[in-house]
Each structure stands twice: as C-alpha cells, then as structure tokens.
Structure 1
Amino acid sequence: MNVTGARILVPGATGAIGSALSERLHQRGAHIAVAGRDREALARLADVCGNVPSRRFDAYDLDTCADTVTWAHETLDGLDAVVVCVGVAGFGPAEAVGDAVAEHLVTVNALAPMAFLRAALPLVPRGGLVAAVTGIVVDMAPAGMADYTASKAALVYWLSSVRREQRRKGVDILDLRLDHVESGFAQRAVVGTPPDLPRGQSVQEAVDKVMEALEGAGGDGSPRGPEKR
C-alpha cells in the first residue's frame, strides 16, 4: 500500500503506539483521522499532526466505534485503511480475575476492534486494508494472562476468518502481532501486576514494523508484515 496520500483512520491514537504511528503516517504524507479516549491527548496529537480531524470514542460503546468509521469516511472523503491500536492489559490467575474484568478485556481487546473493522469492510476499496495490533501473547499463552490472552486470541482468529472472506475483494486484513513493546502498556493494566518481562522493543521500533506491514500490503488479501504463524 502506498501510504503517501492514503486516507487512514487510527483508532486508539492516544496510546503510545497509536500516537507514534499517527505522527509517522502524517510525516509520510498520509491523510489521517485520529480517534481516542483521552480528549486532551487527542487534541494535542491532532495539533502535532497539522490539525487533522479527531474524534473521541469509548471502546465500551460499540455503536460509537462503528460510527467513528463512518465519520472518518465522510471527513476524509473516503477511507483507504483503518489501523486499530486499541487495547488494555490484565494479569492474574483465571480464578482471581473475575467475570467483570474478563468482560472488560474482551470488549476492549476484541469487540471494539471488531466493531471498527466490521464497519470499515464495506467502505475500504480494493487495494486498501484494515489492520489491528494484537500481540505475541497469543503465541505464548503464558500463565497469569489467561483472560488477556483469550481476548487477543479472539481478535486474531476473527481477523484470520475475515481475511479469507475479503481475499476476492482485494482488501488486506493485517494481524499486527507485535513482540513486547516498552510502551508502559503492561503497567497500565486494568487488573494485576505484570510478570518480569525481558526488555522489549521500543515504540519507534514497533512503529517501524507496523509501517513495514502497511507498505508491504499488496491489495490481494494476502497477509504481510509482522504476522506470526
């Protein structure tokens, strides 16, 4: 995909990866719209990126997630890509996490990204793409992260099925399964304390990999970039 001139929505743009990705896309000449939960951070990011369109959403409001895609499509006069950077961590043994926290993890990590991308599928043209940041935790399934891993895995398998559905249309479906990133994400967990983790890649290194995946997408429905099999 040629990022320069592409019309791209970045939900989750106020997080570490989403913010850095938005700035990189703007620097590369993309026409972006940014969406996030933190109103003040969203305003700062929009200003840094040249007063690009911005919209606040709550991941728990799935209708608002879908409506944000429609808004971006109208605001940018079309939509070539949606790259979802929404997510929240959670730690602890399964019996201690609780159903309310488990529901929160599934909603933010799976249902909200699905709502964004589901709404984007009828709007993104041939040669475009939809993508979501997942994580290597899906491949590792470590102890103490059962509900977090399950929520991410739900999104991964949803993306895999949608990729098959969209192949004939020529829309790429990207699972951006990044390694551990030193973004402070684990320290902002909704529950529990993160285990000792080896030093991860920097946010900028993670964004490099995301950009490589976006620019390597060929519009034929085939996966490229930092996907793990």
Structure 2
Amino acid sequence: MTTLEGAVVLVLGATGGLGSRIAARLEDGGAAVVRSSRSGGQDLRAPAAVREVLEGVMAQHGRLDGMVVASGVVAFGAAADLDPATVDELFAVNTTSVIELIAGAQPHLAESARAGRDPFVVTLSGIVAEAPVAGLAAYSASKAALAAFAVAAGREFRRAGIRILDARPGHTGTALSEHPIAGQAPKFGAALDPDAVAARIVTAIVDGEKDLPSTAFVGGAS
C-alpha cells in the first residue's frame, strides 16, 4: 500500500481531461499535488524546462514522492502523409521530454525511498502501445516507445525502491482528440469515462500495482 497522505506528487498535464481528474483524486487522498502543464507555460520539450520543474518542486516542498505523466499530444493521418515536424513534436512531447523528466526525477525519488516512503512514477502510454492503430501510426509509435522505456527503466528503478506504473487505457472521453496537432479525428467507438479511468489509476497507485494494461479498464465506457 502506498500512502498518499502528505506525499508530494508532481502531475504533468494537470489541466488536461485525465490529468486534472487524477490530480484532484490525489489531493482528495491527502497528497500535496504540484501541477505542471503546457497551458501554464511549462513546455517540457527543452531540457532546461525539465530541470526548472523539478527544481521548483524541490524548492517548494523539499522532496518528491511521486509523479504522474498525463501530458501528451495526438496527430491523425496516413503514415505516408506525415509531416516531419509533426513526427518531431509527437516524440518530443510524448516520449523524449517524459524520458528526460523521469531520469531527472530519479535521484529525488530515490531519496524518498531512502526516507521510508514508497515513491512512484505513472506513465500513460494508452492502448495504442499494445495495439497500434492505422491512421495513428506516429502517435502509436511515440506511445509504444514510452511504454518500452517504462518497462526497462522500471526494472532499474526498482533497485532504488521506485515503482514505475504504465497505464494503457483505451479511448477515453477527454478533449485530446478534439485538438490534434495534425489531421482530424476519426469516429471512435464508446469512450471510457475519464472519471473512472482516473479513479482506476489512483487505486493502482495506492494498491502498489506495477502495470495497468488496457484490460484493467474494461467496463468504464460511457
């Protein structure tokens, strides 16, 4: 069991449909949540920005006990029509900046473990990491790369007492697909309830789960 009471948790993408809900539930559990978002002027594609976010948390709270990466961008369209700039942005936001952030947070999370707490990192790669989707080739690739990093880094971080949990919910009823950086969203089937998805992720954090495949979210459609 992971105790949220008093834990300092950084939430990336905290103004998004899922990030905002996860942040609220963490606060309901007693965590001190530090919110970070691109809409708040924190674009983590620059390494200096990654350092600034982590330094800000440490300056404000003196420690970091958990991190949830709920930020991301999406693009639609055929693989043959992809613009290189679109691919660059997908990987910069969904993959590279997240990897740099997790790597940069490791010393702080390791210190949390040495202090007897149960630090964690949650990534949201989504169902496309399990089953890449036509018309979402580059987006699927950026999220699959993140999922692979979470698995491999999780094995390393475990030695320092840090848990990495990757969540792969299916299409969720947020506004992400309404604001793609390229292309237009196709018609999706029934969407998962974002409140139910957020609740499931926070439950997994508290219960010490180490993986949340798409099947863990079955039954949450609305």
TM-score by length of 2: 0.88
Among 189, 196, 203, the residue aligned to 2:194: 203
- How many percent of aligned residue pairs carry the same amino acid? 28
Among 150, 163, 175, the residue aligned to 1:159: 150
Residue 94 of structure 1 deviates from its aligned partner by: 1.0
Work out whether residues 88 and 108 of structure 1, in 8 Å CA contact, stay in contact via their aligned partners in 2. Answer: yes
Residue 160 of structure 1 deviates from its aligned partner by: 0.8
Work out whether residues 126 and 214 of structure 2, in 8 Å CA contact, stay in contact via their aligned partners in 1. Answer: no
Q: Distance in 2 between matches of 1:206 and 1:68?
A: 26
Q: Give CA-to-partner distance per residue, 1:4-27, whole Å, 9 cap, x none.
A: 211101111111111111112112
Among 130, 136, 148, the residue aligned to 1:145: 136
Q: Distance in 1 between matches of 2:26 and 2:181?
A: 29
The aligned residue for residue 168 of structure 1 is: 159
Q: Distance in 2 between matches of 1:100 and 1:165?
A: 32
Alpha-carbon RMSD: 1.5
Residue 74 of structure 1 deviates from its aligned partner by: 2.4
Matched, 1:177 2:156: no
* Displacement over 3 Å in runs of 4+: none
Q: 2:33 is paired with a residue of what secondary structure?
A: strand
Matched, 1:227 2:213: yes
Q: Distance in 2 between matches of 1:62 and 1:16?
A: 25
Matched, 1:65 2:66: no
Q: Distance in 1 between matches of 2:101 and 2:146?
A: 12
Which amino acid letter does the alignment assign opposite residue 39 of structure 2?
D
TM-score by length of 1: 0.86
Work out whether residues 174 and 227 of structure 1, in 8 Å CA contact, stay in contact via their aligned partners in 2. Answer: no
Matched, 1:101 2:86: yes
Q: Distance in 2 between matches of 1:66 and 1:161?
A: 23
Q: Distance in 2 between matches of 1:58 and 1:193?
A: 24
Matched, 1:10 2:1: no
Unaligned runs of 5+ in 2: 216-222
Residue 79 of structure 1 deviates from its aligned partner by: 0.8
Which amino acid letter does the alignment assign opposite residue 139 of structure 1?
E
Distance 1:30 1:164, change over 3 A: same
Q: 1:33 is paired with a residue of what secondary structure?
A: strand
The aligned residue for residue 31 of structure 1 is: 32
Work out whether residues 95 and 143 of structure 2, in 8 Å CA contact, stay in contact via their aligned partners in 1. Answer: yes
**Structure-to-structure mapping, 1:212-223, within 5 angstroms:** 212-217=203-208, 223=210
Among 68, 92, 99, the residue aligned to 1:114: 99
Which amino acid letter does the alignment assign opposite residue 213 of structure 2?
E
Which amino acid letter does the alignment assign opposite residue 99 of structure 2?
M
Higher RCO by CA contacts (8 Å cutoff, separation 6 or greater) = 2
Q: Distance in 1 between matches of 2:59 and 2:158?
A: 25
Corresponding residue pairs, total: 208
Q: Distance in 2 between matches of 1:59 and 1:161?
A: 22
